[in-house]
Amino acid sequence: MSDDEMKAELERLRSENAALKKGATASTRMKVSDKGAVSVYGMGRFPVTLYKEQWLRLLDMADEIRAFIAANEAKLKAKE
């Protein structure tokens, strides 16, 4: 295998690897649970499951949650 062929193969593998990594992080999905709640998968090891009213109440608090996170930024850890 020539140097040019090796470089081309390496570049192909790098782009394929980047595409696979991107797909892994964008795999957040939702479904209705057996008990009729909304489950969000892909945010952690387990799904986040709340009933419709709980999701709506949480969504109504979005500005408060963002303000709380901003106010406590130094104390909070980020999962990377």
Q: Indicate whether 55 belongs to any domain.
A: yes
Number of domains comprising the chain = 1
Q: Indicate whether 78 belongs to any domain.
A: no
- Distances, alpha carbon 49 to alpha carbons 23, 58, 59, in Å: 23, 12, 14
Which of the four pLDDT bands, split at 50, 70 and 90, describes residue 7? confident
Q: Give me the domain span that covers residue 41.
A: 3-71
Q: Indicate whether 79 belongs to any domain.
A: no
pTM for this model (two decimals): 0.62
Q: Indicate whether 27 belongs to any domain.
A: yes
Q: Indicate whether 15 belongs to any domain.
A: yes
Residue 37 token pair: 């709640």
Percentage of the chain lying above the pLDDT 70 cut? 92
Q: Indicate whether 21 belongs to any domain.
A: yes
Q: Running DSSP on this structure, what letter comes out for residue 78?
A: -
Which of the four pLDDT bands, split at 50, 70 and 90, describes residue 65? very high
Better-scored residue on pLDDT, 80 or 28:
28
